[in-house]
Every structure is written in C-alpha cells, then in structure tokens.
C-alpha cells in the first residue's frame, strides 16, 4: 500500500482547521454528506464561543466549504474576515447512504452506492489545500469544513483516517515537522507561539 502522504500533493505549510458547528444531523447520528442541515442552536453557540480565541491572532486568509453549515461557522468564528469558498472543501457525497444512521456507513475506503470514493474525495481536498496554502505568509491560513475533509487531511498528513471524528467548532493546528506532521488543539499558548 502506498503511504498516503506520497499519493497526494499536500502542501507542507502550517494551517488551522475547524470543523463546522453542530447540526441536528450530527446530534442525531445521521449521515449528512451533501445535504444542507443548518447549524442548530448549540452549533451556533459553539462557533461564537471560539471567536474570542481566534480573534487573538491575525490570519492570512479563511477558506471555507461551499456548504451552509461551514460558511455560517466561518462567519461566526471570524466575522471580520471574508471567507473564500473552495468547492473542493465540501463534505463527502455519501450517495444512497445520505440521511441514514451513521451506523450504516460503509468501510471508509469503499465507495458508497452512487457516492464518492474516499481517494477521489482526498484528491479534490488535496487540490483545494494547494489553492488555500499557495501563498507563504507569517500569518496562518484557516480552513473551515467538515468531518470528512478532516479525515482526508489526517490521511494525507500520515495519520489514521478511521479514528474518532474531530469535534465540532474546535480549532486544530496542523504543522509539518522534520519527519512528517503534528497536530494539536489550538490554545491561547499556541496562539501566542504562532503569532510571535
């Protein structure tokens, strides 16, 4: 099997990833995929709650999925930034499984009936990340997208694609190292470090 990081042209630049806030589909354990469930009240509160942390740094740019739950999250988390939409950051299309319980998901690397394969999704996420990280800057880029996009990013940076979902509305700092990648939840201490 080819190591994931060698299969995809993933830029080796640090960035912050945020999964959108909670939706009713998330709460109910339903596969949303290409559907458009809006943020629920909890999801909006989650996004608003991390805005003060994110306001402590200057960001180069904010890139967002075209889907409403991600765009709304970006507008609540970073209201002073105009988020740039990248179609490649949209959630995986789960085909006939959309609207079904998460317990019915097919294995990660299988293609769901009438849906999108994981490698195909990662190819488009890789291209979107190349666009988002094309400009080197002292200020980091913020990506606001989905659980499936986070899985692709983890996979392409050498981590497990099948681990737990990343939490809603929780900023995660990804940084390249000499031997690969590391990631950790963003804190005030890390904000000061990356802003220094």
CATH of the domain at 66: 3.40.50.1240
- Per residue in 44-78, pLDDT (tens digit) is 999 999 999 999 999 999 999 999 999 999 999 99
Domain range for 66 is 2-195
| DSSP secondary structure letter of residue 97 | G
Place 116 in a pLDDT band, splitting at 50, 70 and 90: very high
Q: How far apart are the C-alpha atoms of 78 and 193, rounded to whole Å?
A: 20
Contact (CB, 8 A) for 121 and 146:
no
Contact (CB, 8 A) for 65 and 146:
yes
Contact (CB, 8 A) for 181 and 39:
no
Phi, psi of 134 (to 5 degrees): -70, -25
Q: What is the rounded average pLDDT of the residues 154-174?
A: 94
Place 6 in a pLDDT band, splitting at 50, 70 and 90: low
The answer on pLDDT for 3 being more than 70 is no
**How much is the mean pLDDT over the chain?**
94
Q: What is the rounded average pLDDT of the residues 96-125?
A: 96
Residues assigned a catalytic role: 20, 91
Query: Could you tell me which of 188, 108, 100 has the C-alpha nearest to residue 154?
Result: 108
How many residues are present in the chain?
196
Q: How far apart are the C-alpha atoms of 93 and 149, rounded to whole Å?
A: 11
Return the percentage of the chain with pLDDT > 90, whole number.
86
The number of distinct structural domains making up the chain is: 1
């Amino acid at each position: 099997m080819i190591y994931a990081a060698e299969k995809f042209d993933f830029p080796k630049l640090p960035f912050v990833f945020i999964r959108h806030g909670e939706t009713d589909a998330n709460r109910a354990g339903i596969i949303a995929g290409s559907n458009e469930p809006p943020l629920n009240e909890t999801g909006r509160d989650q996004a608003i709650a991390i805005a003060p942390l994110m306001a402590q740094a200057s960001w180069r740019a904010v890139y967002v999925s075209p889907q409403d739950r991600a765009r709304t999250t970006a507008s609540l988390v970073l209201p002073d930034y105009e988020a740039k939409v990248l179609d490649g950051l949209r959630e995986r299309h789960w085909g006939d499984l959309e609207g079904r319980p998460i317990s019915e998901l097919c294995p990660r690397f299988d293609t769901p009936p009438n849906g999108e394969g994981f490698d195909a999704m990662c190819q488009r996420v890789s291209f979107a990340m190349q666009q988002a990280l094309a400009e080197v800057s002292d200020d980091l880029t913020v990506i606001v997208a989905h659980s499936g996009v986070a899985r692709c990013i983890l996979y392409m940076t050498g981590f497990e694609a099948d681990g737990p979902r990343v939490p809603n509305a929780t900023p995660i700092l990804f940084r390249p190292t000499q031997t690969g990648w590391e990631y950790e939840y963003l804190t005030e201490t890390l904000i000061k470090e990356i802003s220094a």
